Structure 1
């Protein structure tokens, strides 16, 4: 299972400007609010969806005060904004499979924006199910490698219930079945681990390489445009970009 393409995307996000960081905080804040309203209230002990979102927020370095404020606001009567969870599927340049997960309060606006991005950068929006069969929903936990013994980390992860473990150049990537994600993450937290990221992801079963530089540039611009949109929560794709390291 190849995860390096995803990890490079994480690094790109981590190293972006403060403005981009604020955008990431906004997206996670929206996710927290929806988790409170639809997952069963403001108590993470009884709301597993919220518990997972809080872990994701902390991995993204969202301050605890921000997290608490968002949860309190979402639990109050004053916040009447309703977000709809809509997933779009399509093809980037040269048939790269792309899944776009959104939380929106205006589905017409979001659909128009997403379609525009695909059209502008040489892709096309498809129908539901057109590419999702190329992905598998997995829990993915990323742990900083520095100062840790690989054998010990692997043993802890497998003992916690992980289904796969990989050592990258800078990090350990821990994969779980989607249903086991929360339990594995909590078991590792109990062992004192902190995470670079921890969330349910759509992991590709096959990857597509773009040999042409112009096509690769269009693909990157498509991803950047999608991720820059406030309604877009996650963008999953099967582009295997060997140049991602050098671009950072």
Structure 2
């Protein structure tokens, strides 16, 4: 699990402004709406919704906001039909980038994403151009508030995780995607503090950036993508991003 630290990326994002955090609330709300429309409003019967409610709480979304979004989607008040889209491309110096979006206007979103890549020294590619360098994994981060490494290892083995990385600040765990929610619930039941638990695209190889201009443009590209209302997730193989900023 080398190459980048999910924990440090989370801490970096927690330092963002209230306006940026509000945008995170909106994006999670959009995911919840889609999950309710696809699988119903009962989290006990809708595993995807259950995972998204947990994600919302991990991002400090108020319970009232979560309930309001679920009721709106269940009642058919949301008239938007969001479609899932995935874009692949290259940032400066060939950094591989995958962009996941939920959009009600494919042409608008594709045009905006292409513009960001062009503006900041990259280029949008075709489907499959970089995804072969990534594997879909469940990634769970536990806060290390004085955890015992041997006990964590035992619990991870019992939960059936694929890999884990124990550090002074956090424990980063990989699972098969379908088991991410179940492992999260198992570890919550054991009393662990879950910082995040999501299905992600994990790089198998990484690209370093040494040129300050490449680093500047890569940061601008990531910021522009993450600021876009339609973009839900951005994955990349820039090595040790948090140390190069």
TM over 0.5: yes
Question: Would you say the 8 A contact 1:96–1:239 is kept in 2?
Answer: yes
Aligned-pair CA distance for 1:227: 0.3
Tell me the equivalent position of 1:152. Answer: 151
1:93-132 aligned within 5 A: 93-132=92-131
Which is worse superposed, 128-137 or 14-23?
14-23
Task: Give the structure 2 partner of residue 37 of structure 1.
Answer: 37
SS class of match (1:79): coil
| 1:50 Cα offset (Å) | 0.8
> 1:245: how far off?
4.0
Of 167-176 and 112-121, deviating more is 167-176
The verdict on how the C-alpha distance between 1:246 and 1:151 changes in structure 2, with shifts beyond 3 A counting, is farther
Q: Does 1:7 align with 2:16?
A: no
Summarize the Cα distance change of 1:143–1:157 in structure 2 as closer, same or farther, 3 Å threshold.
same
Unmatched tracts of structure 1, length 5 or more: none
**2:194 match: secondary structure:** coil
Inter-partner Cα distance in structure 2 for 1:97 and 1:135: 9
After superposition, the Cα gap between the structure-2 partners of 1:3 and 1:145, relative to the gap in structure 1 and judged at 3 Å, is farther
**Contact 2:143–2:192, Cα closer than 8 Å, also in 1:** no
Deviations 1:151-188 (A, max 9, x none): 21222122111111102341110110112212211111
Q: Is the 8 A contact 1:5 1:239 kept in 2?
A: no
| 2:21 paired residue number | 21
Gaps of 5+ in 2: none
Q: Tell me the TM-score normalized by structure 1.
A: 0.95
Greater mean alpha carbon deviation, residues 199-208 or residues 76-85: 76-85
TM-score, scaled to structure 2: 0.96
Change in CA separation of 1:218 and 1:5 when aligned onto 2, cut-off 3 Å: farther
When the two structures are aligned, how many residues end up with a matched partner? Answer: 245
